[in-house]
């Protein structure tokens, strides 16, 4: 069973409430998504291996630590995942960035891939998949499958909000993928929105509504 990490840090919870507020404007919404992504990245990279290194301070020689050469990729799911990308890349500037575009077919309700561009060595990288909303789980399940088809073996899914339905779908389809979220909300409503949620994340990040 994949691990579900609920990120309850006060700074995250404070900023999440700003996102939930219907009166928060585009600028503050976008900035808060980026800041939450940075704070989530801090939690999701806790297990990165370190190696000891020598360093010379202005006073003396010392032993320090450096990330032990882990190769990381960040993969936002278009389009709302883009809002989380900068925050992560600021903390991990050597990360490569892939993109996945998925839409839901209105007849079958199945996710359909319309865009996919990955770094050439994606299969060797630890991958952070970014998408702020884990709702039905359809897109999340498809994105993880696409990355596994590229040979990826180390996947973490970062979402700001999760619904029980999406969490269950991911845990049954991809029990090896760890999931990071800032809250597990009550449910989905009939149009697939998370309740209470924060509305349409893409529209609020990009100001398209």
Please give the residue ranges that form the binding site for ligand URA (CB under 6 A).
80, 133, 135, 192-194, 197, 200-202
**Smallest separation, CB 132 to ligand URA (Å):** 7
**Smallest separation, CB 118 to ligand URA (Å):** 23
State the residue for tokens 């806790």.
46
Burial class (CB in 10 A: 0-12, 13-18, 19+), 71: middle
The question of whether 108 is a catalytic residue gets the answer yes
C-beta of 118 vs 162, nearer to ligand URA: 162
Among 45, 86, 178, 200, which one carries the catalytic annotation?
200
Cβ-based neighbour number of residue 1 at 10 Å: 7
The question of whether 104 is a catalytic residue gets the answer yes
- List all residues 6 or more positions away from 49 whose beta carbon is below 8 Å from its beta carbon: 67, 68, 70
Q: Is-contact 152 143, C-beta < 8 A?
A: no
Q: Is-contact 188 177, C-beta < 8 A?
A: no
Residues in the chain: 209
**Smallest separation, CB 84 to ligand URA (Å):** 13
CA gap 144, 155 in Å, rounded: 8
CA gap 93, 34 in Å, rounded: 15
Among 104, 105, 121, 157, which one carries the catalytic annotation?
104
C-beta of 68 vs 195, nearer to ligand URA: 195
C-beta of 101 vs 192, nearer to ligand URA: 192
C-beta of 152 vs 162, nearer to ligand URA: 162
Among 30, 79, 178, 203, which one carries the catalytic annotation?
203
**Smallest separation, CB 148 to ligand URA (Å):** 23
Catalytic residue set: 104, 108, 200, 203
């Amino acid at each position: 069973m994949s691990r579900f990490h609920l990120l309850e840090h006060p700074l995250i919870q404070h900023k999440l409430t700003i996102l939930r507020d219907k009166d928060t404007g585009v600028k503050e919404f976008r900035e808060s998504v980026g800041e939450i992504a940075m704070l989530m990245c801090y939690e999701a990279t806790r297990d990165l291996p370190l190696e000891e290194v020598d360093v010379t301070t202005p006073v003396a020689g010392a032993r320090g630590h450096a990330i032990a050469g882990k190769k990381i990729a960040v993969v936002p799911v278009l389009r709302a995942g883009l809002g989380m990308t900068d925050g992560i890349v600021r903390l991990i500037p050597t990360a490569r960035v892939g993109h996945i575009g998925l839409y839901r077919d209105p007849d079958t309700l199945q996710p359909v891939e319309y865009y996919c561009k990955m770094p050439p060595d994606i299969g060797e990288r630890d991958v952070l998949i970014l998408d702020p909303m884990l709702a039905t789980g359809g897109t999340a399940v498809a994105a993880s499958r696409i990355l596994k088809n590229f040979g990826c073996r180390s996947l973490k899914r970062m979402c700001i909000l999760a619904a029980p339905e999406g969490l269950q779908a991911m845990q049954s389809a991809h029990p090896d993928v760890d999931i990071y979220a800032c809250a597990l909300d009550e449910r989905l409503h009939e149009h697939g929105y998370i309740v209470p949620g924060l509305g349409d994340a893409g529209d609020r990040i990009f100001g398209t509504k």
